[in-house]
């Protein structure tokens, strides 16, 4: 059985004046433990709505989401909050996702103690070790988000996401707001964390070249539906869908 199972996921929104917006419409996917799935599509295709549904932040219109044998969509809110320690999210804009009034130390300590409290004497050491794991200097732990660059803030966001020791990490366009030179550093960091921590990952992007670098399998979304799914190399080299070929044609080349 796959670690993550999505069966006929639908997220529909009523439109003013009648009608329905089918943001996600009948998506079924399975993700094996330790796999990186690349979820690709243009803006408005439904991939971010699907990620919010996976995080149980958006109610489903239909379908089910099963994580490690547990149907998340059938759990009451209190149990969902407890299970959310097992699946964490990295957002596109790290500045918007971090509390500007909290120091990096406070942000990461809060995440580290979500599963179990830490003795006061061990807290600073634990935050320092977490910062080093994502390539940040521990001596900056008492600084605030505005004192870091965009790439450093995204490293903080990744550190916060892995602090509760999740098994599944959802990364929603985590490099699209960063300079190209920084993007590769963040992608390499995610690759290293996947190997070191045994993470299962869903990496969401509009850029097929970025996803091809990172993912084992690629799912292409269009207008709320799956347009294509397969091994990353196969989708990149021999796409079956016309829409996938158009996405590949849009990738800049030297």
- How far does the chain reach from its first CA to its final CA, in angstroms? 42
* 107 half-sphere exposure, CB direction, 13 A CA radius: 27
Q: What is the pLDDT of residues 114-141, one digit of tens each?
A: 988 999 999 999 999 999 999 999 999 9
pLDDT of residue 126: 96
- The structural domains of the chain, ordered by start, are 4-96+165-249 (3.40.50.300)
Instruction: Output the furthest CA–CA distance in the chain (Å, rounded).
Output: 60
Answer whether residue 108 shows pLDDT above 60: yes
Tell the residue number behind the tokens 């003013």, with chain if given: 16
Answer whether residue 254 shows pLDDT above 60: no
Mean of the per-residue pLDDT values of the chain: 91
Q: How far is it, in rounded angstroms, from Cα 178 to Cα 3?
A: 31
pTM of the model: 0.91
Answer whether residue 112 shows pLDDT above 60: yes
Secondary structure E strands in 183-251: 200-205, 217-222, 225-231
Q: What is the pLDDT of residues 165-214, one digit of tens each?
A: 999 999 998 888 788 888 889 999 999 999 999 999 999 988 887 888 88
């Amino acid at each position: 059985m796959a670690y993550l199972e999505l069966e006929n996921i639908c997220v529909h929104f009523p439109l003013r004046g009648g009608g329905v917006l089918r943001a996600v419409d009948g998506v079924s996917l399975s993700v094996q433990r330790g796999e990186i799935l690349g979820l690709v599509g243009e803006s408005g295709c439904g991939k971010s709505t699907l990620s919010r549904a996976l995080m149980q932040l958006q109610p489903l219109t239909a379908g089910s989401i099963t994580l490690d044998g547990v149907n998340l969509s059938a759990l009451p809110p209190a149990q969902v909050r407890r299970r959310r320690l097992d699946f964490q999210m990295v957002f596109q804009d790290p500045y918007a996702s971090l509390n500007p009034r909290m120091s990096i130390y406070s942000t990461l300590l809060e995440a580290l103690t979500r599963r179990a409290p830490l003795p006061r004497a061990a807290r600073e050491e634990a935050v320092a070790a977490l910062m080093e794991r994502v390539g940040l200097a521990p001596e900056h732990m008492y600084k605030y988000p505005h004192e870091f660059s965009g790439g450093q803030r995204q490293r903080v966001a990744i550190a916060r996401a892995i602090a509760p020791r999740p098994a599944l990490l959802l990364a929603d366009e985590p490099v699209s707001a960063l300079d190209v030179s920084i993007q590769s550093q963040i992608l390499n960091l995610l690759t290293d964390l996947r190997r070191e921590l045994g993470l299962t990952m869903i990496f969401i992007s509009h850029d097929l070249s970025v996803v091809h670098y990172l993912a084992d399998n690629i799912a292409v979304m269009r207008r709320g539906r799956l347009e294509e799914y397969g091994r990353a190399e196969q989708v990149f080299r021999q796409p079956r869908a016309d829409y996938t070929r158009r996405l590949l044609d849009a990738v800049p080349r030297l």
